[in-house]
């Protein structure tokens, strides 16, 4: 269904917009009933079903003047797909709730949907339903369903003697956010990393099969996520500064803003890298050892308390 290019959501109406959105989302063979009924019906095979939900609120998690609608779609999908990845699973199905002001351009909603669908396609997941309603600002609620063919990797399995390892790009999105927050658009590579994260989608299942004892995705900050692992597992974690090679774009932004560039890596989120613990000698290829697990509690950096920001907090 073609919409007038200047139409708003109110001009189009709820059901006409839903009719325009639905064809954007292709359905996989596991979908028995997709968008259009009271609920989706999915075929579930052997293994464990894993489910996660996330919210994105305009002005809190994204700004429309900082990212195109398609970028917001990629980000909304990525942060949910990454949660299943962090369990050692693969996402198969998602539902999307979109609340928006009546004067939102209908094209924004369509572009958001296309970006969302493109990100889902990278892992072969289908959008099987959702909801559309009115609100004073744009809000996005996503539920993702996936499966694990081996036992899901929880946050609570780390043991003293394990090593802490990281895979995926880390700190780039935080650098991009810092740049945008100062009113700049370069280095462009960092801004694009914030707008469209690149989670290591293949790494979660590899880690699970290799024997990862605990795992989490880095959505709020590396040290903050390490603390979640430590608290859930009842252990202490020490992170090593010398384990990280700070990329040149972060060095440049740190110099321009008078900030420690390593702080973007230790305290930054939104790249959705994976942080996991493994028995020593079991770390798979593509993962970098960045710390150790010992008896005790808390998270330290080089054996001492870290004075810088450790990650995002919502309240």
Query: In this predicted model, what pLDDT tens digit does every residue of 142-160 receive, in sequence order?
Result: 999 999 888 999 999 999 9
Residues ≥6 apart with Cβ < 8 Å to 167: 200, 203, 207, 273, 274, 276, 286, 287, 288
Residues ≥6 apart with Cβ < 8 Å to 134: 99, 100, 101, 102
Task: Give the residue from 45, 12, 16 showing the smallest Cα distance to 28.
Answer: 45
Residues making up the annotated binding site are: 38, 52-54, 61, 83, 130-131, 155, 217, 219-220, 270, 312
**Encoding tokens for residue 87?**
């369990």
Query: In this predicted model, what pLDDT tens digit does every residue of 236-292 receive, in sequence order?
Result: 999 999 999 999 999 999 999 999 999 999 999 999 999 999 999 999 999 999 999
Residues making up the annotated binding site for ATP are: 130-131, 155, 219
Residues making up the annotated binding site for substrate are: 61, 270, 312
What would be the CATH architecture of the domain defined by 9-148? 2-Layer Sandwich (3.30)
Query: In this predicted model, what pLDDT tens digit does every residue of 192-212 receive, in sequence order?
Result: 999 999 999 999 999 999 999
Domain range 163-301, its CATH number among 3.90.650.10, 3.10.20.580, 3.90.220.20, 3.40.640.10: 3.90.650.10
Give the pLDDT of residue 40: 67
**DSSP characters over 134-158:** E-SS-EEEEEEEEEESSPPP-SS--
Phi and psi, residue 80, nearest 5°: -85, -45
HSE-up of residue 129 (Cα within 13 Å, Cβ side): 14
* 265 vs 199: CA distance, rounded Å: 15
Give the start-to-end residue ranges of the domains of the chain.
9-148, 163-301
Could you tell me the pTM of the whole model? 0.90
Asked whether the domain spanning 163-301 has the same topology as the one spanning 9-148, the reply is no
56 and 75 Cβ atoms separated by less than 8 Å: yes
pLDDT tier, 315 (very low <50, low <70, confident <90, very high otherwise) = low
> Of 90-94, 105-109, 153-157, 307-311, which gets the smallest average pLDDT?
307-311
Residues making up the annotated binding site for Mg(2+) are: 38, 52-54, 83, 131, 217, 220
pLDDT tier, 1 (very low <50, low <70, confident <90, very high otherwise) = low
């Amino acid at each position: 269904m073609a919409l007038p290019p200047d139409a708003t959501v109110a001009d189009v109406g709820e059901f006409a917009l839903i009719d325009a959105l639905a064809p954007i989302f292709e359905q996989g063979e596991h979908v028995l009933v997709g968008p259009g009924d009271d609920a989706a019906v999915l075929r579930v095979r052997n293994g464990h079903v894993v489910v996660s939900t996330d919210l994105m609120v305009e002005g809190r998690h994204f700004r429309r003047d900082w990212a195109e609608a398609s970028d917001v779609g990629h980000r909304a999908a990525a942060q949910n797909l990454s949660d299943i990845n962090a369990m050692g699973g693969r996402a198969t199905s998602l539902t999307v709730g979109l609340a928006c002001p009546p004067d939102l351009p209908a094209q924004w909603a369509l572009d958001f949907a296309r970006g969302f669908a493109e990100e889902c396609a990278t892992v072969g997941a289908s959008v099987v339903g959702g909801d559309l309603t009115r609100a004073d600002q744009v809000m996005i609620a996503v539920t993702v369903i996936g499966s694990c063919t081996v036992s899901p990797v929880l946050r609570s399995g780390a043991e003293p003697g394990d090593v802490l390892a990281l895979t995926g790009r880390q700190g780039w999105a935080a650098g991009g956010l810092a740049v945008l927050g100062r009113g700049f658009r370069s280095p462009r590579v960092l801004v694009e990393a914030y707008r469209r994260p690149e989670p290591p989608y293949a790494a979660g299942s590899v880690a699970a099969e290799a024997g990862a004892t605990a795992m989490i995705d880095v959505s709020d900050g590396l040290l903050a996520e390490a603390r979640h692992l430590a608290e859930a597992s009842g252990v202490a974690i020490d992170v090593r500064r010398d384990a990280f090679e700070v990329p040149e774009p972060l060095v440049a932004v740190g110099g321009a803003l008078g900030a420690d560039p390593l702080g973007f890596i230790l305290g930054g989120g939104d790249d959705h890298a994976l942080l996991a613990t493994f028995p020593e000698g079991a770390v798979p290829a593509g993962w970098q050892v960045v710390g150790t697990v010992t008896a005790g509690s808390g998270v330290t950096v080089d054996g001492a308390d870290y004075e810088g920001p450790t990650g995002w907090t919502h309240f």
